Structure 1
């Protein structure tokens, strides 16, 4: 009989679980009051396709006693599939021009950046090809002309990146930053928004990869940790 966790799985989550499974693994095992996606010996493996804040309490509880690996997918390539609105026309499929990058992890990691320094925690980011299936719902999809994401389908796992320590994030820091910089400087170096640069700086500050030196007007001035 399927567990409650597996019954609620979306396609992408279920496909990543199947991709990750090895002989001898157990699935949906209760540990410390939580159902675990995959248990491999002493290792607990959790798959989260979005919204890290939803699993913060779970991860903090589990890492206190167990080694935990969190798997998170980033769509390096994506195809958009729009389901027919009347049930008769053919669905439409197109390739999205947007390409996901490892930097997207900071959008989620703001929920618990310090956890990467915990000896029991490992982050496994997998770059994937996926289909995003959209259906028409005027009530929920007013921002996308009525279209909302219905499901995500895994097409192919392209590569994986393991982060076991904060220092493993070092290669994501732009090399053209000066010794002292603000989030505005970081945004310019990355060619991204100031809001995203603030999230990234917050994460790296909490990981002790950035240090706060002072202020320039109302802006915090950062420097790189001396350990880098």
Structure 2
């Protein structure tokens, strides 16, 4: 089911004269803006990986991935529209969170015809109570999400742009432990970041330090996106 957030972002990115929800071959395209296809992906990037790969063979594509910089939580009764509570979530996503998505998208990004645009948004999320069952940890179900504001955007075109997302970067040769310390994230998160940087050619594996894999920055490769498919 399409969320209000997805609908609103399509409207946000569609300019005057642009087409929304247009069939192109086997696919429905969110927005066609001149020669550019725009796909808004609120769910996992892995869900559109094959679609984007196909489209890149003959089109320029911009994939818009929203991250929740701030989230207003509205809890309602399961029936009716009565609001039980409303508050801002203490959890905020940052640019680093895009690496959680990129681990499923590095076979497509970077590409000379692809722009990956990260949109920091403030959104409102509506929830209704739900009983926990089995493995389920949540005691609620999200019914819809609404866009309040797009606060900032960044466009990623090359692997070097991924390196620039890091608030601090290790110098010289480094392990994922040192990357985690520089970026101020848990090591398991740094391992995801290192995987994305390695697969896109931004860093290269050069050996080991003890039992830890050792990496170094690879700027010449890092600045070059994958060539357009024939």
Partner of 1:5: none
CA distance in 2, matches of 1:90, 1:43: 41
Change (3 A) 1:177 1:81: same
Q: Distance in 1 between matches of 2:158 and 2:93?
A: 23
Question: Any conservation in 2 of the 1:27–1:36 contact (CA below 8 Å)?
Answer: yes
1: CA distance, partners of 2:166 / 2:93: 17
Question: What's the counterpart of residue 162 of structure 1?
Answer: 155
With the length of structure 1 as denominator, give the TM-score of the two structures: 0.89
Q: Which runs of 5+ in 1 are unaligned?
A: 1-7
Q: Deviations over 1:12-68 (max 9, x none)?
A: 100101111111111121223111001112211000012111111101111111100
TM value normalised by structure 2: 0.88
The DSSP-based 3-state class of the residue aligned with 1:115 is coil
Contact 1:50 1:108 in 2 (8 A): no
Q: Aligned equivalents of 2:143 and 2:211: distance in 1?
A: 42
Unaligned 5+ runs, structure 2: 223-230
1:16 lines up with 2:9 in the alignment: yes
Q: Aligned-pair distance for 1:207? A: 1.5
Q: How does 1:1-228 map to 2 (within 5 A)?
A: 8-85=1-78, 87=80, 89-139=82-132, 142-144=136-138, 146-173=139-166, 175-227=168-220
Which protein, 1 or 2, shows the higher relative CO under an 8 Å CA cutoff with sep ≥ 6? Answer: 2
> 1: distance between equivalents of 2:160 and 2:51?
24
Aligned residues: 220
Across the aligned residues of Structure 1 and Structure 2, the Cα RMSD in angstroms comes to 1.9
Cα 1:130/1:219, change in 2 over 3 Å:
same
Residue 90 of structure 1 and its aligned partner are, at CA, apart by: 3.1
Q: Which structure features the higher share of helix residues?
A: 1
